[in-house]
Amino acid sequence: MIGRLRRFFALARERRRFEAEMAEEMADHLVRRSADLEADGWAPSDARRRARLEFGSVEGFQEACREAVWLHLLDELWRNLRHGVRVLFRNPVLTSTVILTLGLGIGVNVSIFSLLDAALLRPLPYSAAERLVVVETHFGQDGVSASGNLYQNGRTWEALAGSVQQLDLAVFSDGSSGVNAVVDGRAEYLQQQRVGAGFFRVLGVDPLIGREFTAREDVPGGPRLAILSHRLWQHLYLGRSEVLGRTLQLRGEPYEIVGVMPADFRTGVDADLWTPLRPSLRGEGEGANYMILGRLRGAATLDSASDEVRAIGAPALEALRIPAGRQAWLGLESLQRGLGREAGSHLLLSWLAAWLLLGVCSFNVTGLVLALAARRSAEMATRRALGGGRGAIVRQMLTESLVLCALGGGLGILLAAFGVRLAGAFLASLLELWQPIALDARALAVALLLTLFALLVTGLYPAWVSARRHARHDAIRVARRSLSSRRVLVTAQLALVVALLVGAGQLVRTILHLQDLTPGFNAEGLVAATVSLQDVRYRQPDAANRLLQSVAARLNDDPAIAVASAGLNLPYERPLNLSFVWGAEEEGKITNLSYVTPGYFEALQVPLLDGRYLDTRDDAPGAATAVVNAAFVHTYLGDREPLGTSLRIAGAERSIVGVVSDTRQTPGWGENEPLGHRAAVFISLSQTSAPFLELVHGWFEPSWVVRPRGGGVNVEERLRAAVSAIDPQLPIAAVRSMDAVRDQVLARQRLQASLLAAAAGGALIIAAVGLGGLVAASVAERRREFGIRLALGASPWSALGEAVLPGLRLAVFGLVWGLPLAVALAYGLRAFVHGVGPWDAVTYGWVATLLAIAAGFASLLPALRVLRFDPARLLRSD
């Protein structure tokens, strides 16, 4: 078979030569035969005539030869193509609907595939990327992992670094932070990523010029060094190689440039430059701030290295406070899967939605092609009657579908090119991609596959239906059969739409649930302004305190502002985790810490449960104090009286003076609820130390929280004025309402919900259009019946009801068939859904309502024609 296909394609390529040689061969035959006849004594002209007579029809045999080598298929294909294009041009509305629908389905699908490919599937752009791994902490029971976390703390790193034989390891931070830079007197705001020594070596990428950080430099107190991105090098130094050894000012301190990375190098972060991470057990080492990258050495496998890491890392995890019955252990995950996992699962869900949408589009198009086929039943019947083969009709119908699908696929690729650009502009940072989103050969291959899929779905069935018909079938019966097939297709579309709507409904309900969670503070009107204090001028607690408090004081003096204060953490965001010990205990436990300035809780309106808030009394040196939240009391104190208890945290023994109620935070370590209550300790900024501040300001940026007196106050303007009055050199990183802070934390969930809602909405519209077309066709088919009824005195309104009813019945069928699918999807979605059950009645109620509205309109609009029917004319026609 394969040999024959190869020979067929070889001939098809050399069609002209094939024809010429075939003609030559047969002419040669005739010449030889007539020569032989002449030798037998025939006159030359008679010999030629007789030779031709004996041979038979040259054209006929040539055609038979073409069939023998399948070339007739090519001729037929060409004929069918031309015919198909003519037919499609004669039905412009239907054709453009089909192309638009398919283009939409394929375009959405390919766009999401491109995202998925960049996040999860395409090999990372590093040499032997399959040998790259990340260290993962598993939480679970009996060796079965219930959840994993790629964020590691300093203890894990200390334990593994230099001890693991099977891996070349490097530590890095997966985020970037904005820093103020001065280059040749020019101020720049740059994105900096911190990476440990060996990071570039493990990735397998050498700097374009210069070198990377050494292990001796990557320690606390080491030299200040920077490696530039290619883009920044071009921008600041115009690509000159003498940049090595020069310095640039980052947050007020000189950094020496030791290297420049190649142009196409990227990590998951949009970084302008890299500085040493300086992992340390002091301070930040307790936080789950690092990621550990590794490359398998020599013969090591993921499993063998994973076992080694688990054994060596076990003691480091004992410091974690793991609830009884649960365990924590280390393991490895491939870098690609590890990084892509979270984004990947979201994207896989979107891809599933895109497939459901494509299913709806394909069924819709199948219905339209069937309608077209029914319109041409007379043509087909004639062809069958004239002896047209069933195969020929199937091939012709398939050719027409091929034209449609090819055009739809082409439009889909155009739409995908647009979608990919859009995604690149808006989503790249959200997905933390280690490579660019691209409409590349892989995406085009998927587009091709989808087009073939669409061809199979939309082409085969109508072709089969057309071929099955016999000439004796009259047009009305054919139309009726086409209608019943289309009913099935519309029901299938509605069923898929129900599933999509339920999925989207669950995610939308999740977002609403998360937004409606009581935040634990009063978010109304509250504005937060964030600044980076990674600055040598604010290394001392006094300086930082002076800045934060003076700005707050200026704002508090403003009659338009009710209250202003400052703290390290905002509610909703990921807190700083840090270990603490009780009294003389040795072993640390992990909690969350934030420093605040006086008036912080009052500004947020966090209720006080016991004792007092932190205030100016806590600015005084001497006895250090702390306020804890209810979750902390619940987790660590049990029945003990919190007030007066003392704990050691952030380098000082602190006595608890108050208990406040909980606020919602994003989890870090081992927890999955998007917004939960986390144990937290609050201390006064003035009771911190310089080394502590330097460490936490490397990871976190403090914020002012400002509550205006009533609406209509331009808080941002007043804030900026206050900050620039105190420190004109200090740029504000962001001014956001607290609702915006929450939305940013929920951005991924929101994106997910919007994508699914958009897919569901699109599918609903497409299915409604399909339903409307079907109702229109069935009204047209039954117009004689309606004519008779109206002539017999039926009221137009009852006729209208009669015309609308079948559409509504289909919607009910769609709902019934779609429900099992929807419930299955809802169960599959549980990992993405919070606060909403798979049987959430509100979701199903909304879905049923939306479906009823859409089906109602889709049935009513075409059915309105009944009211304009003129019985007399209808009965005369046909």
- Binding stretches for another protein (CB under 8 A): 3-4, 7-8, 21-22, 24-26, 28-29, 31-33, 54-58, 60-61, 64-65, 67-70
Round to whole Å and give the CA distance between 415 and 108: 8
Instruction: Give min distance, CB of 384 to another protein, in A.
Output: 21
At its nearest, how many Å lie between another protein and the CB of residue 48?
14
Q: How far is the CB of 74 from another protein (least distance, A)?
A: 14
Calculate the alpha carbon distances from 543 to 134, 432, 549 in Å. 39, 35, 10
Closest CA to 689 of 732, 735, 649: 649
What single letter denotes the amino acid at residue 768? A
What is the DSSP code (8-state) at residue 290?
A: B
Tokens representing residue 678 in the block: 């986390």
User: Residue 31 or 805: which CB sits closer to another protein?
Assistant: 31
Minimum distance, C-beta of residue 4 to another protein, in the bound complex (Å): 6
Cα–Cα distances in angstroms (integers) from residue 841 to residues 54, 261, 691, 829, 847, in the given order: 84, 55, 54, 16, 10
Sequence-ordered list of residues with C-beta below 8 angstroms from that of 431, at least 6 positions apart, any chain = 115, 118, 119, 343, 347
User: Please, what is the minimum distance in Å from the beta carbon of residue 65 to another protein?
Assistant: 4
Shortest Å, Cβ 80 to another protein: 21
**Alpha-carbon dihedral 70, 74, 79, 83, rounded to 10 degrees:** 110
Cβ burial, residue 684 (10 Å; 0-12/13-18/19+): buried
Of 8 and 813, which has the nearer Cβ to another protein?
8
Which amino acid is residue 119, in one-letter code? A
Longest dimension (CA), the chain: 136
CB-based contacts of 468: which residues, under 8 Å, 6+ apart?
A: none
Report the distance separating Cα 68 and Cα 217, nearest Å.
77
- Which token pair is 770? 């399909």
Residue 8 or 582 having the CB closest to another protein: 8
Supply the minimum distance, in Å, between the C-beta of residue 27 and another protein: 11
Closest CA relative to residue 553, chosen from 500, 487, 491, 619:
619
**How far apart are CB 69 and another protein at their closest, in Å?**
4
* 75 alpha-carbon distance from chain centroid: 45
Q: How far is C-alpha 730 from the chain's CA centre?
A: 36
Q: What angle do CA 33, 34, 36 make, to 5 degrees?
A: 65
Which CB atom, from 7 or from 240, has the smaller least distance to another protein? Answer: 7
Closest to another protein by CB, 42 or 70: 70
Pick the closer one to another protein by CB: 47 or 551.
47
60: left (phi over 0), alpha (psi -120 to 50) or beta: alpha
Minimum distance from residue 393 beta carbon to another protein (Å):
20
Q: What is the distance between the alpha carbons of residues 757 and 198, in angstroms, rounded to a whole number?
A: 44
Q: Kindly tell me which of 36 and 264 has the beta carbon lying closer to another protein.
A: 36
CB of 14 to another protein, least distance (A): 13
Cα first-last separation, the chain: 52
The least CB distance from residue 383 to another protein, in Å, is: 21
Q: Which is nearer to another protein, 23 or 475 (CB)?
A: 23
**Which residue's CB is nearer to another protein, number 21 or number 303?**
21
| Helix ranges restricted to H, 40-70 | 44-55, 58-68
Alpha helix segments (H runs only) across 117-270: 154-160, 199-203, 230-237
| Residue with smaller CB distance to another protein, 64 or 422 | 64
Q: Which two tokens stand for residue 44?
A: 């030359």
Nearer to another protein among residue 51 and residue 578 (C-beta): 51
Residue with tokens 């300001």: 697
Shortest gap between Cβ of 30 and another protein (angstroms)? 9
Nearer to another protein, 52 or 341 (CB): 52
Tokens for 840?
Answer: 């959430």
Among residues 51 and 799, whose Cβ is nearest to another protein?
Answer: 51
**Shortest Å distance, C-beta 50 to another protein:** 11
Write out the H or E segment, with its range, that includes residue 446. helix 441-468
**Distance between CA atoms of 171 and 157, rounded to whole angstroms?**
7
| Least distance (Å) between residue 118 CB and another protein | 45
Distances (CA, A) of 611 to 273, 674, 678: 47, 30, 20
Q: Which is nearer to another protein, 23 or 187 (CB)?
A: 23
